[in-house]
Structure 1
Amino acid sequence: MPISKALSYPVFAVIVLAFTTAMADEVKRISVNGYELAYVEQGQGEPVIFVHGGLQDYRMWNEQLPKFALRNRAIAYSRRNNYPNEVSPEGTPDGAADVHGEDLAALARAFGFSKIRVVAHSSGAHAALFFAAKHPDMVVSLALNEPPALGMLNGLPNSADILKEFAGLAPAREALKAGDVQRGIPLFVNVVGGPGAYERRSDDDKKMNLDNVASYQADATSKRPRPVFSCDMAKVITAPTLLSNAEHSPRLFHRVVDQLEACLPNRERVEIPASSHTVTVDNPNAYDQAVLAFLIKH
């Protein structure tokens, strides 16, 4: 009797999850734009590529990949200048969303994909916006959680007040510039995620933050102009897009998503309850359910 009939779906799903989780332990590497990127993958079918945020890497998606691999080929990679890739404080800044967006396009091509679904968080979602605006024909759908696309706030009457919420990042940047990562990382996380966000993180997540500090040190020292994502760029993206916010994240992220919602032609929006910015840590089940339901439709 086929296994799908011999076992109830919940039991079968548990077996598949255990099997695909084991498979995901193998870190592979692929050459993209002259740079080697590490990635893991699970499942078969149409590709979904996961793009992590700042102070993170492919491991951010460890809990998500087995669930998404039940329907798709789920691939999580580490962006340029993030663990375990070659890293340097003089390397590519985390905020170089245009560069990371081109890497995403090249990654898809290196796999032989003409079109992809993208699930992305924070600065990874910012990179995904640049990718989608530059290569709209490569996008099946996007699921973007709180991209720091501050260019969307340009011209808003209260934008200066909104940006003041992130004034606390200055001490974090100075600490990272000076090499004081033990002070700089908690300062950064607690501004972006809200007071106590760093202290609530697991030891594994704190280690991941430390492993990926080079890209933020590059941010703190780079003279490279920050790329600006605009409403006109958003209007080019016609693929279905799920915009998500965390219930308790800083107001800035909500205002950015407000503007994206107004500019993107084909978008849906969801708020993840009981969470603050890094929804995959604070409320992974609610986040996963929202994104999986979106991908089933698109």
Structure 2
Amino acid sequence: MGEPVVLVPGGLTGWLSWILHQERLAARYRAIRVQPIHNELGSAGVPGDPEYTAVTERESLRLTLDALGLERPHLVGWSGGGKSALELAMEYPTRLRSLTLVEPAAYWILEQLGDSLDEVAQANTLVHRLFGREVTDDDLAEFLQVAGFVPSADRATSHPNWERWLGHRMALSWQGEAVDHPHRTVKELTNVTCPTLLTKGAQTSPWLKRVVDVLGDRLTDATVTEFDGDHAHHIERIDAFLTALEAHMAHVDGPAHAGTL
């Protein structure tokens, strides 16, 4: 069946975003899609819980790995899923065989470094305003613009994915302060010791790229790769992304890393 690779989705549509990747990886890996709590309950229309934190996300992911008997999987996370994957790697550095982060939403890193980007403040203001309440169509359109999925909010409804996004909009109600600001310091990034692949889109927003570049500079064993596309470049350029991902995982499983696993 091959080595396990666990796919953690972003904060809106959840594990649906990894279906094609799972199908194509399944021939060589034990490919597993996981559904975070906020995706599951948010997509069911449940508003965000005030007790939901970054620790909740991290520990639910760890418990899922435990329940599946996965001691050292390859872990791949996109956006919000990348943020929780990074959190798990910092807390439990020996649990992962490799880490792949697709434009992780770890904006707290930029804030701690004093990168007071207007876009980060705008994104945080928006998602924190949505926490615990009903998310409207206008809220969703604004989020899609800020996240770089559409060029402007007024064009969101004409996007081919609008109807799919609309059905999952309540997942945005779960992204509060306690989720976006884990009790971490930038120095703790050195806790991440497994080989890490970081990816970004050439057309994505500069502030999203900045998170990737900072992580590339500060993680112990990191490689940064850019693909044509935006925040969803791993879907838009799935062939190129999977080629890079499989090369990364194969390199980790090769002789060069045999003594470190």
TM-score, length-scaled by structure 1: 0.73
Aligned to 2:160: 202
| Counterpart selection for 2:80 from 113, 123, 126 | 123
Distance 2:16 2:110 in 1: 31
Checking the alignment, whether the CA contact within 8 Å between 1:47 and 1:73 is kept in structure 2 is: yes
- Pairing partner for 1:69 from 19, 23, 26: 26
Per-residue deviation, 1:142: 0.6
Give the CA deviation at 1:293.
Answer: 1.7
Aligned to 2:111: 154
Corresponding residue for 2:182?
227
Greater per-residue strand proportion: 1
Are the counterparts in 2 of residues 55 and 208 from structure 1 also a CA contact under 8 Å? no
- Describe the superposition over 1:50-90 as per-residue Cα deviations: whole angstroms up to 9, x where unpaired: 00001121111111112111111000011103237866203
**Percent of aligned positions with the same letter in both sequences?**
24
Residues 152-197 of structure 1: CA deviation (Å, up to 9, x unaligned): 223545x11x2x0245444576577763521111110111115158
2:206 is matched with 251
Aligned to 1:284: 238
- Give the equivalent residue in structure 2 for 1:80: 37
* Corresponding residue for residue 2 of structure 2: 45
Partner of 1:19: none
Partner secondary structure for residue 16 of structure 2: helix
The verdict on how the C-alpha distance between 1:187 and 1:177 changes in structure 2, with shifts beyond 3 A counting, is: farther
Distance in 2, Cα, partners of 1:140 & 1:224: 25
For the aligned residue pairs, the C-alpha RMSD in angstroms reads 2.7
Matched with 1:217 is 173
Letter in 1 for 2:170: A
Using CA pairs below 8 Å that are at least 6 residues apart, which structure has the higher relative contact order? 2
1:102 aligned counterpart, secondary structure: helix
Aligned length: 247
Question: 2:250 and 2:180 mapped to 1: Cα distance?
Answer: 38
Describe the shift of the 1:263–1:208 C-alpha distance in structure 2 as closer, same or farther (beyond 3 A). Answer: same
Aligned to 2:49: 91
| 1:268 match | 223
Q: Does 1:106 align with 2:71?
A: no
1:218: Cα distance to partner?
A: 3.0
Code of the residue aligned with 2:242 in structure 1: it is D
Residues 1:249 and 1:93: Cα distance change in structure 2 (over 3 Å): farther
Q: 1:240 aligns with which of 192, 195, 217?
A: 195
Alpha-carbon distance, 1:216 to partner:
1.4
Instruction: Output the CA distance in 2 between the equivalents of 1:239 and 1:294.
Output: 11
- CA distance in 1 between counterparts of 2:70 and 2:174 reads 31
SS in 2 for 1:188: helix
Give, in angstroms, the shift of residue 241 of structure 1. Answer: 0.2
The unaligned stretches of length 5 or more in structure 2 are 253-261
* Structure 1 Cα separation of the partners of residues 224 and 179 of structure 2: 32
Taking a change above 3 Å as real, the CA distance of residues 87 and 247 of structure 1, as seen in their structure-2 partners, is same
